[in-house]
Amino acid sequence: MDKHLAAELYPEIEPHGQGRLPLDEIHTMYWEESGNPAGIPVIFLHGGPGAGSTPAHRRFFDPTYYRIVIYDQRGAGRSTPLGEIRENTTPHLINDLELLRQHLEIDRWLVFGGSWGSTLAIAYGEAHPERCLGFILRGIFLCRKQEIDWFLYGLRNLFPEAWRVLVAPLSTEERNDILAAYYQRLMSPDPAIHLPAARTWSTYEGSCSTLLPNPATISYFASDTVALGLARMEAHYFSHNIFLPENALLRNVHKLHNIPATIVQGRYDAVCPIVSADDLHQAWPQAEYIIIDDAGHSAWEPGIQSALVRAADQFKIKIK
């Protein structure tokens, strides 16, 4: 990473608008706006699924230029009910984005997403390319079987200590199908069963998300709201192949070829290995592809954070 090109996060800001948007009889979405009310709209798609958004996510964008829209997806963060899997599929999430766009009277927006947020950004873009000014994508996750298997089993090769903690509650037989074993626990109505499982699952992901150990990241992933939303939604979506046909994202990426895009990927991303970003770029050669050689998965890795801020700054020119 060239230190001369480092870009700092923008200062902390507060929303100038926020609300709760009813989505159906079950779900209500939390949303907020900050930055320039008359600026270029940008929508931030958080990871997980189920991790929720944070105030720090506003800081990737120049608030004098961008109309910054942040929200929590179904079952996540401040959206209610937390951890609810009913009526919660990728097509629902795509439709929710359209409901929010229409509610805020936005014609087109820049789509920014990392990890699961990159998955949803691509799926949304392929469904509604006419609504996308561009894409900034980080830590690419295409939710293919090999990627889910890597997360549940392959990570043991790099993080054996974290993996041992993940499987410690499971019997020898259950370890042959970690996803099914955790799904059963996470969907239990008893908090004494689902909360410890959620914390263990989420902490495992947090422990593997940075190149160097980061106690603050692990602590964030261990918090009850993040853990429950993240673990339940990930187990739900992984168990159903994200409710999309196999390899649908790569197969339909040609629909995005004419839309400007920047892909930022940590070379040593253990949660979403670089092969997925490479596969995406091979299928989408028009996209700018930036590899951060000294980074793992987290958006807060210094090189990734800097590249994302710089990408958003560069889009001020690209989408004029």
Please report where in the chains the tokens 């692990």 appear, as a residue: 218
Answer whether 93's CB lies under 8 Å from 117's CB: no
User: Annotated active-site positions, please?
Assistant: 115, 269, 297
What CA–CA distance (Å, rounded) separates 288 from 281?
A: 8
What CA–CA distance (Å, rounded) separates 152 from 289?
A: 27
DSSP character at residue 291? E
CA dihedral of residues 38, 40, 41, 45 (deg, nearest 10) = -140
Burial of 37 (0-12, 13-18, 19+ CB in 10 A): exposed
CA dihedral of residues 160, 163, 167, 168 (deg, nearest 10) = 60
Burial of 29 (0-12, 13-18, 19+ CB in 10 A): buried
Task: Please state, in angstroms and as integers, the Cα–Cα distance from residue 23 to each residue in 76, 95, 126, 234, following that order.
Answer: 14, 9, 22, 21
Q: Which H/E stretch holds residue 304?
A: helix 302-318
What CA–CA distance (Å, rounded) separates 88 from 85?
A: 5
Task: Please state, in angstroms and as integers, the Cα–Cα distance from residue 301 to each residue in 42, 118, 222, 280, 296, following that order.
Answer: 22, 17, 19, 22, 7
Strand partners, 7: none
Q: Which H/E stretch holds residue 203?
A: helix 191-207
